[in-house]
A and B are shown apart, each in its own frame.
Chain A
Amino acid sequence: MSTIKLRELAHSRTGDKGDTSNISVIAFKPEDYRRLVQQLTVERVTAHFAELLDSAAGPVRRYELPNVQALNFVLPGILKGGVTRSLAQDAHGKALGAALLDIEIE
């Protein structure tokens, strides 16, 4: 079965609160929302960001917003101390959503 990049099906924005990042994934077309719900699982997102996540901070969570064809992923600990004390160049993790859009969807 052929696959396409998530970027062709959905758009995304990343927000930060303390140590935790949230990444929205919003389907461009309502008919693609089901595919995202089925394939863009917590497990896949966790695997995608495995190198960056902090397992001690707790698991990735996913919330569904069917009215706006969107999923919201919450990634605890990924900001490594949060905006104020992180050593990261992108301390807010603003660019994380763009990395998620590289994931393959069937």
Chain B
Amino acid sequence: MTTLRIGSGAGYSGDRIEPAVELADKGDLDFLVFECLAERTIALAQQARLADPDAGFDPLLSERMRRVLPFVARGREIGQRRLRIISNMGAANPLSAAQEVRRVAAELGLHGLKVAALTGDDVLAALHADPQALLDNGATVASLGDRLISANAYLGAEGIVEALNADADVVITGRVADPSLFLAPQLFTFGWAQDDWTRIGRGTLIGHLLECAGQITGGYFADPGVKDVPDLARLGFPLAEVDAEGRAVISKVAGSGGRIDPATCTEQMIYEVHDPKAYLTPDVTADFSNVSFTAVGTNQVRADGAEGRARPDTLKVSVGYLDGWIGEGQMSYGGPGALARARLAREVVLERLKLTGVVVDEVRAELIGVDSLHGATLGSRTAAEPWEVRLRVAARCADKSDAIRIGNEVETLYTNGPYGGGGATKGVRQVVAVASLLLPRDAVKPHVHLEDAS
């Protein structure tokens, strides 16, 4: 029986590159998938594209391709398992990204690779045509005015399947739902019907398990003495061996760091899931509520029991918009009495912001080491007073000039505040916020662009 081997080469845009190279070299893969688009990434990329029409794709695209394309070429030559690449590193500009992949292939002397770009996720024009459409935060599209930057629908697997049917070696997309990147090669290889909800639900589970790369192989898991993970510095990325029924074993390259067992798989399965009976993607309403994991070998886990029901009629759209500025300042206090001095510094800064008329939409003043992560109530569950405390004041302001004054007020603690403060830092950044809305499926038209590299 044919099986399919899919590896996960990145769990986010800035992820480590060597584990992906290790998978391409030693994973005996059919497909290597790079998932690199967080919620806001595409809005930031769209801003880059506005400044330069050839920009707006993942900054690590060229480096990743330089490292893995030789293995794609090798697979074609030796005619065993043929490695192909799928990635959403196209971000806001899949066409330019595909062009860059062709350029890198040429630079490496690799000829004849077919590189496809998938577009159609950019629905900004459709949104402009419906200004009264309501976002999940209660605002209308019209109210965003010229602060609206980007609107991208989460596409499903079908565009990628079309590109694979056209024999693409590399498929570069913009916004595609993360699990769909991994479902596509399964649909392509096994030819499941578009309404085979059970198998598509299983394939979606596999995609969800793989989409964060190292998060299923022991990354973000270690808690020394409670949950130990070997060799995190050389963490291996995961691969799934899938059969035509959508049954899969998750594993990693032998000798790589990390661990895969039912515990790591369970953490990743529930990650970013709300109702486990209804995990919505563009392809299916997946049901993970009856999934079970069985260790079938060292660092090998079988996943069973995923199901699926009909896919939603609408597609989720992420809308990026400018939302003012965040100004921030920090200052550390240490030694005996550090906590009281940091508290006094906090009071002083908040009073100064009022006295000097800084206009803020929202302000947050916290003590790192005490209450910054979980608030004062949970932060007081330990009796010990910290040796060092770091004051952090952050505020969101409509105007940049007000945001700049937040960090300045913290910095003036040096010569005007309590004793023993040091290490002031300050900064200002523009806020690119993201909201979402739903669009009817037929308003979105995926389109595949295919060209050969020279």
Contacts and interface: CB of A to CB of B under 8 A. Distances in A.
B136 interface: yes
Interface in A40-97: 48-52, 61, 63, 65, 67-70, 72, 74, 81-85, 87-90, 95-96
Contacts of A7: 226
22 contacts: A7-B226, A11-B263, A11-B267, A16-B272, A22-B270, A22-B274, A24-B266, A26-B263, A26-B270, A52-B375, A63-B277, A65-B291, A67-B289, A68-B269, A72-B273, A82-B433, A84-B323, A84-B433, A87-B362, A87-B395, A89-B368, A102-B381
Given A26-B267, A85-B431, A67 B305 contact: yes
Given A63-B274, A68-B269, A72-B274, 13 more contacts: A11-B227, A13-B220, A13-B267, A13-B271, A15-B271, A24-B266, A24-B267, A26-B270, A67-B305, A69-B266, A84-B433, A85-B323, A87-B394
A70 B291 CA distance: 11
A42 B20 CA distance: 40
A26 to B, nearest CB: 5
B39 A84 contact: yes
B49 interface: no
A4 interface: no
Across the A-B interface, give the 5 residue pairs with the lowest CB-CB distance, nearest first: A15-B272, A24-B270, A87-B364, A13-B267, A51-B375
Interface residues of B, number: 53
Given A63-B275, A68-B293, A83-B40, A96 B323 contact: no
B378 A51 contact: yes
B65 interface: no
A68 B291 CA distance: 7
B273, B277, B363, B436 — most chain A CB neighbours (10 Å):
B273
Interface of B: 39-40, 136, 220-221, 223, 226-227, 262-263, 266-277, 288-293, 305, 323, 326, 362-364, 366, 368, 372-378, 381, 392, 394-396, 431-434, 436
B87 to A, nearest CB: 22
Given A52-B375, A68-B293, A74 B274 contact: yes
Of A12, A15, A87, most buried by chain B (CB within 10 Å of CB) is A87
Contact of A88 (B40, B270, B364): B364
A7 B432 CA distance: 37
A44 to B, nearest CB: 14
B434 A84 contact: yes
A81 B394 CA distance: 14
B374 A28 contact: no
B202 to A, nearest CB: 15
Nearest to B394: A87
Nearest to A95: B373
Nearest to A15: B272
B270 A99 contact: no
